[in-house]
Amino acid sequence: MTDLDVRLRDIDARIAEAARAAGRDPQQITRIVVTKFHPAELVRELHGLGVRDVGENRQQEFSAKAAEIGALEGLRWHFIGQAQTNKARAIRAAAHAVHSLDRARLANALDAAAEPGAPLLDVFLQVNLTEDPGRGGVAPSEVEALAEHAAACQTLRVRGVMAVAPLDEAPARAFERLRAAGEAVRTVVPDAHGMSAGMSSDFADAIAMGATHLRIGSAITGPRPEHG
């Protein structure tokens, strides 16, 4: 086995263990491998190991990588980074899901970018769990209004909520607020049970709080290459 294979199996075992500890079925949890800053070749390698969900956070890198790789059986791309509205078309062209929907204008732009007959785009509403309004995500008090707006966009399917845990707080406490935001979204979209939360350092807490989509990078890929 390669190091990559070893790390992947190890994380999957830890995901299964955290799920069982929380009385949850590991099969109901989607593990997304975040491949940002790594070459397209890594995505091919992961695919060969059975990975079907990969995540990218920068539009240019994402578009280039998706184009370089082309169609790979069953591969799903998750866009997880801050998105500019003028990049909505490029994102929509390659993404199966967008986890970083944080404003009505972006919902409109992603909706308008749908090609005729294109499948619905899965979206997660990113919630800002910090006190800093400059961070990505909608304020928890605004999430219901954003859900209403996104749900009215015909080509988007609201799957749930997403967040990155703040650095200065126990992740479990932050994910509890995310769970509450998810409940607010379900008053608008009752089947939006998705919760995209949990990274290399906090995925066990996220699973305990109900995360359905984990975004795990370095614990699987190893350290990211230097970037500018």
Q: For 37-46, give one letter per residue: b (16+ CB within 10 A) or e.
A: bbebebbebb
Please identify which residue in 109, 161, 164, 181 interacts with ligand PLP, judged by CB under 6 A. 164
Q: What residue spans of the chain are helical by DSSP H?
A: 3-21, 40-48, 59-69, 88-94, 104-112, 143-151, 171-186, 203-208, 218-221
Residues pairing with 157 in the sheet: 122
Residue of closest CB approach to ligand PLP: 217
According to the binding rule CB under 6 A, does residue 130 interact with ligand PLP?
Answer: no
Q: Which is nearer to ligand PLP, 55 or 182 (CB)?
A: 55
Q: Could you tell me the smallest distance in angstroms from the CB atom of residue 165 to ligand PLP?
A: 10
The site that binds ligand PLP (CB under 6 A) totals a number of residues, namely 13
Asked whether position 208 contacts ligand PLP by CB under 6 A, the answer is: no
Q: Which tokens sit at 194?
A: 């998705």
Does 218 bind ligand PLP (CB under 6 A)? Our answer is yes
Nearer to ligand PLP, 198 or 210 (CB): 198
3-state helix, strand, coil in the chain (%, to 5): 45, 20, 40
Return the residue of 36, 92, 149, 213 that touches ligand PLP, per CB under 6 A: 36
List of residues contacting ligand PLP (CB under 6 A): 34, 36, 57, 80-81, 164, 199-200, 215-219
